[in-house]
Amino acid sequence: MDGRAVELAVVVAVGGLQHASCLLKLVFCLDAAVELLNCVDGGKWLASCNWVPKTNCCAHWGGVSCDPVTGRVDTLYVYNPVGILSPYIGNLTYLKVLGIYNDEGDNDAGDEGLSGSIPPELGNLSNLTYLNLYDNSLEGPLPSSLGNLHKLQHLILRNNYLSGVIPCNIFRSFKSLLTLDLQYNRFIGPLPSSIANLVSLTDLDLTGNYFSGEIPVGIGKLKNLTRLNLLYNQFNGSIPKSIFQLPRVEFVDLSYNNLNAPLPEFVVSNVSSMQELHLTYNDIIGVIPDSIGQLSKLKLL
């Protein structure tokens, strides 16, 4: 088996590792890859993905591609996984694209997919630009080590059971992040002020969590933002007027929160791009300011 096949065989554990002994066999005996495959629903992989030991993983294994220069695995997709996300995933340091998710529709109450927590070793993948763990049953906190993924452009963790407070420093190095999708998890507490560092962000979706406190004023620094979804949370206080000054934002949904202050004046420095503004099921008081007329492209309120 070539080195690339060994590298991937270790990570096949994400496809449904049930017994740690299977992984140990592979570490100490490379010929045990077949046994490992059998432990991780190997028949399924052999039939649908051609993940066959002693073959060229770069050429024949479904969901796998390699860098043409280094020959190292740089892309890995695993569809409809079962089991846990092995810490050995952190050894694939050349990975640029990692997608491990259910492609058969949304899991009902997380009955399928990966379980357990996100291993801190995932933060070793410093070349990663795309991370998608959508629609699994992952739980526990978001590892602060993810803040090491300086090249990350898309972080998609929606439809899991992830919980706890977002680490305060995790966003400080995400200068290239375009998509942050954490919807339908169990995150709590305030959003860290470091969210203001996501200067390249175009799509922010935190729908369906338990975030609380005030909406950070720093969101108004995200000048490339086009979509902002914060509905179904527990945000309170006022809406930062800086949100309405974002030059490219087209869609804002703050529905189903506890916002309980008057609407701010809609002071727009340039021509507004906002087309939809959703504020239903809050406790907003007072009247709608006449300055809402400055949102000249608004179609739905």
- DSSP-assigned states of every residue in 228-253: EE--SSEEEEPPPGGGGG-SS--EEE
Q: Which position has the token pair 């706890």?
A: 164
Q: What is the pLDDT of residue 127?
A: 94
Quick check: pTM over 0.75?
yes
In the predicted model, what is the mean pLDDT of the chain? Answer: 78
d(CA 212, CA 245): 23
Q: Which two tokens stand for residue 119?
A: 């291993």
pLDDT at site 243:
87
DSSP, residue by residue, 91-152 = G-TT-SEEEEE--SS--STT-SEEES---GGGGG-TT--EEE--SS--EEPPPGGGGG-TT-
How far, in Å, CA of 145 to CA of 166, rounded?
12
Query: What is the model's pLDDT at position 16?
Result: 42
**Res 153: pLDDT:** 98
Task: State the pLDDT at residue 149.
Answer: 95
pLDDT of residue 216: 93
Quote the CA–CA distance of 13 and 18 in Å, as a whole number.
Answer: 8
Going along the chain from its start, the domains and CATH numbers come out as: 204-301 (3.80.10.10)
Q: What is the pLDDT of residue 82?
A: 78
Which amino acid does the sequence have at 59? A
Summarize pLDDT for 65-107 with one digit per residue, the tens.
888 887 788 888 887 877 788 787 887 888 899 998 887 655 4
pLDDT at 66: 81
H or E element, residue 154 = strand 154-156
Rounded-to-integer distance, Cα 222 and Cα 246, Å: 7
63 to 32, 45, 144, 255: CA distances (angstroms): 22, 11, 28, 38
pLDDT < 50 stretches in the chain: 1, 3, 5-6, 9-43, 45-47, 107-110
